Amino acid sequence: MRTKLLITGGLGYIGSFTARSFLKNKSIKALSIDNLSRGNNFANKFSNNYKLDISDNRVRKIVIKKNINTVLHLAAYTCVRESEKKKQKYLNNNFKKQIKFIDNLKNTSVKYFIFSSSLSIFEKNKFKKNASPYSKYKLKIEEYLKKISSNDFKVLILRYSNVIGSDQNGEIGEKNNYISRIVPSFYKNLLDKKKNTLFFDYKKKIFPSRNYIHVLDVANVNLKIILNHQKIKKKFLVLNVYNVNFHSNFEVLKTLSKILKIKYIFKLKQISKLESIKPVYKSGKNIFKYLKYKPKFKNLNQMLKSNIKWFKKIY
Ligand SMILES: NC(=O)c1ccc[n+]([C@@H]2O[C@H](COP(=O)([O-])OP(=O)(O)OC[C@H]3O[C@@H](n4cnc5c(N)ncnc54)[C@H](O)[C@@H]3O)[C@@H](O)[C@H]2O)c1
């Protein structure tokens, strides 16, 4: 069966890289639904975007008309910290609208559904008890999808760690005007010689560590799995998307400062109790092993360096 792909959030960070990979590989523009609440118009050239909300009933009509069989569902708000402050906003966009969108796909041509979840739902290899609204709704949508999955509506959950990086040639990259993301924030503060805020656990005296994956590797595995979903026998499968190494926020700042040859200054801030110091992701299969895919970007220096051309262009 030929893949007829819809990407929701196709003008966002991961969506634009994935649409670009699909276009390069298949010479076809994927269909995208993105209301541009957070996306970037410059990504328009990689997909055919309908500027609609995922909860809009017109989405169902488009899916039927275009005979879509595969959906990569990325549209959501993406910030753990923002979700703690704006609970209602996350309840609405990351839960209620998501359910409406999924329900609108029932009894259509869609047979393969890929949901972008997050490894932030874990703490010490268990589902978090005191999860942020962001993580809680990701888990709830996963559970809902598991319940409705069938041989006619196969569901694949991709749990990403922290996605960073840009196209090395500076064609596209990380840009989000609505939330503060670690690498662009550090970059701008270094250039402006401003203090960087580093979250820190005063009690344990440690900086939090995170796992980082490069957006090009994410786009590559997204593409591979989109093109191979039809071969997967299971009606519901969870795959984790993460690298081997973890890095503290301090390491990220130091590495970027070395690349830019600009001295860093920082202040410390107590990390929220809802956030992990160092997450453990043992449950679930790693997609890199599953697909026998070797990530192109393995070390932090390489990932951060990939941003420079792009950041010079936009900042
Ligand atoms: N970036 C990461 O590090 C990361 C990590 C784990 C999981 N994820 C998940 O991957 C997905 C994509 O993340 P991203 O970094 O590309 O985010 P992004 O904000 O760059 O892209 C999301 C896109 O979805 C659109 N959108 C949001 N709500 C919408 C709605 N109701 N209707 C239509 N469009 C809507 C936005 O305009 C935006 O273009 C998200 O679901 C996110 O939770 C991302």
Three-class SS of residue 296? coil
Instruction: Please tell me whether the overall predicted TM-score, pTM, comes out greater than 0.85 for this model.
Output: yes
Contact yes or no for 136/120 (Cβ under 8 A): no
What is the per-residue pLDDT for 28?
A: 94
- The tokens describing 290, both together, are 């599953």
Query: What tens digit of pLDDT does each residue of 65-104 get?
Result: 999 999 999 999 999 889 999 999 999 999 999 999 999 9
What is the per-residue pLDDT for 147?
A: 98
Strand pairing report for 154-160 and 196-200: unpaired
| Spatial separation of the C-alpha atoms in residues 50 and 32, rounded to whole Å | 6
Q: What percent of the chain has pLDDT over 90?
A: 86
Strands (DSSP E) found in 251-307? 266-270, 285-286
Q: In angstroms, what CA-CA distances link 200 with 78, 124, 134?
A: 22, 18, 21
- The pLDDT confidence band at residue 125, using thresholds 50, 70 and 90, is low
Q: How far is the CA of 244 from the centre of ligand 1 (A)?
A: 24
- The tokens describing 173, both together, are 């990259």
Name the strand (E) or helix (H) holding 120: none
pLDDT reading at 274 higher than 80: no
| Spatial separation of the C-alpha atoms in residues 197 and 52, rounded to whole Å | 36
What is the per-residue pLDDT for 236?
A: 96
- The tokens describing 122, both together, are 């874990």
Average pLDDT of the segment spanning 188-208: 95
Average pLDDT of the segment spanning 39-45: 91
Does the domain spanning 5-165+211-244+279-296 belong to CATH 3.40.50.1980? no
Which residues' Cβ are closer than 6 Å to ligand 1? 9, 11-15, 33-39, 53-54, 74-76, 78, 93, 97, 116, 118, 160, 162-163, 176
- The tokens describing 315, both together, are 């900042």
Query: What tens digit of pLDDT does each residue of 205-243 get?
Result: 999 999 999 999 999 999 999 999 989 999 999 999 999
Q: In angstroms, what CA-CA distances link 305 with 39, 167, 194, 214?
A: 23, 10, 21, 11
Helix axes 97-104, 133-148, angle to 10 degrees: 20
What is the per-residue pLDDT for 124?
A: 62
**Residue of 36, 72, 78 with the most ligand 1 atoms within 8 Å of its CB, for mutation:** 78
What is the per-residue pLDDT for 214?
A: 98
What is the per-residue pLDDT for 131?
A: 87
What is the per-residue pLDDT for 179?
A: 86
**Residue of 16, 20, 34 with the most ligand 1 atoms within 8 Å of its CB, for mutation:** 34
| Spatial separation of the C-alpha atoms in residues 166 and 224, rounded to whole Å | 20
| Spatial separation of the C-alpha atoms in residues 241 and 284, rounded to whole Å | 10
Least confident of 18-22, 59-63, 138-142, 279-283: 279-283
Residue 194 DSSP class: P
- The pLDDT confidence band at residue 120, using thresholds 50, 70 and 90, is confident
Contact yes or no for 177/228 (Cβ under 8 A): no
- The tokens describing 138, both together, are 């990701």
